[in-house]
Amino acid sequence: MTTLIIARHGNTFTAGQTPTRVGARTDLPLVDSGIEQAQRLGKWMKENGYIPEITYCSELKRTKQTAEIALQQIGYVQPIFPLAIFNEIDYGVDENQTEDKVVARIGAAAIRDWDEEAIVPKGWDFDPEVCKTNWQNFASHLIEDEQDTIFVVTSNGIARFAPALAGNFEEFANNNKIKLSTGAVGILQYANNQWTVKDWNVKPQRHG
d(CA 23, CA 32): 20
154 vs 125: CA distance, rounded Å:
18
How many Å apart are CA 83 and CA 22, to the nearest integer? 18
Tens-digit pLDDT profile for residues 146-164 = 889 999 999 999 999 999 9
Average pLDDT, the chain: 96
Residue 207 above 70 pLDDT?
Answer: no
Domains of the chain, CATH where assigned: 2-202 (3.40.50.1240)
pLDDT of 130 above 70? yes
Q: What is the pLDDT of residues 33-83, one digit of tens each?
A: 999 999 999 999 999 999 999 999 999 999 999 999 999 999 988 899 999
Q: Tell me: pLDDT of 208 over 80.
A: no
CB 57 within 8 A of CB 82: yes
Give the whole-number percent of the chain exceeding pLDDT 70. Answer: 99
Other CB atoms within 10 A of residue 32 CB: 10
Q: Is the pLDDT reported for residue 9 higher than 70? A: yes
HEC readout, 88-155: CCECHHHCCCEHHHHHHHHCHHHHHHHHHHCCCCCCCECCHHHHHHHHHHHHHHHHHCCCCEEEEEEC
Kindly state the average pLDDT of the residues 171-184: 95
Instruction: Please give the average per-residue pLDDT across 6-29, as a whole number.
Output: 97
Choose between 13 and 78: higher pLDDT.
13
Interacting residues of 45 by C-beta distance below 8 A, sequence separation 6+: 5, 51, 52, 70, 73, 74, 151
DSSP string, 33-65: HHHHHHHHHHHHHHHTT---SEEEE-SSHHHHH
The most distant pair of C-alpha atoms in the chain lies apart, rounded to whole Å, by 48
What pTM did the predictor assign? 0.96
Check residue 3 and give its pLDDT: 97
pLDDT, mean of residues 156-175:
96
